[in-house]
Amino acid sequence: MKKLLKTFTLLFLANLFSTFCKAQDDLPDARRKTESFARFHIPQMRADLATFTLSGISESVGLTPLKKVTYTSMGNDSIVFDGDGIKAKVKIAPFDPAKHKLSFDEKYLVRIDRKPYYGNYLKTPKTRISGVTMIIDRDTVSIPPAAYDDLFNLNFTYLDKGVERTTDAVYISNDRQTVYLYLFCKDNTGSYEVTWIFQNRKYLRRVLDYGFM
């Protein structure tokens, strides 16, 4: 019964989110898929990611869900997770265009500080991620700004038939050696999901997919 319920849930989520935004052919797109789930090939971590990411949903059937730490507080500018030896916080702040180098393709914004970016793509963002904190079993993990400084207009929640929901969470592998901080951002210009991966209390890398409706 539990497996059947999970299958129905996954099919519902797939139907809700897996339709991609299809930009017109004449619109520029400087973003790359090099950090996507499709190009992630570490077997056990890929299986872990498939249990909670939208991009991995087709590989999730039959997999055992990971231990999940849900948010303990959320505001307009931050979300906090605290449980099972994990403390994580993501903060957002206003985006000031004057403090960044903006690169345009004709009238479309395609790069910020010489990098492709995610969130409100082709337009100037209103907010940026200003910091990500991760504490694992009392050890503070150093996270490089490059892990989040190209992510903008982050929304912690989304509306589903008028109901405010979130899928943001921290996930812990069965052997507790790997921790995943997952955020899903839905916006009108195409959504993105990012998972920051921490292994043995060190930041490893991120997995990033975009273009979800």
Contacts of 149 (CB under 8 A, 6+ apart): 113, 115, 128, 129
19-78 per-position pLDDT tens digit = 433 434 467 898 989 999 999 999 999 999 999 999 999 999 999 999 999 999 999 999
**Distance between CA 190 and CA 21 in Å, rounded?**
6
- For CA atoms 92, 78, 191, 193, give the dihedral sign: positive
**Distance between CA 126 and CA 185 in Å, rounded?**
14
Beta pairing class for 86-94 and 127-136: antiparallel
The residues pairing with 203 across neighbouring beta strands, listed in sequence order, are 198
- Report the number of distinct structural domains present in the chain: 1
Residue range(s) defining the domain that contains residue 167: 2-212
pLDDT of residue 55: 97
Res 151 pLDDT > 80: yes
**Taking the complete model, does pTM exceed 0.95, yes or no?**
no
168-206 per-position pLDDT tens digit = 999 999 999 999 999 999 987 669 999 999 999 999 999
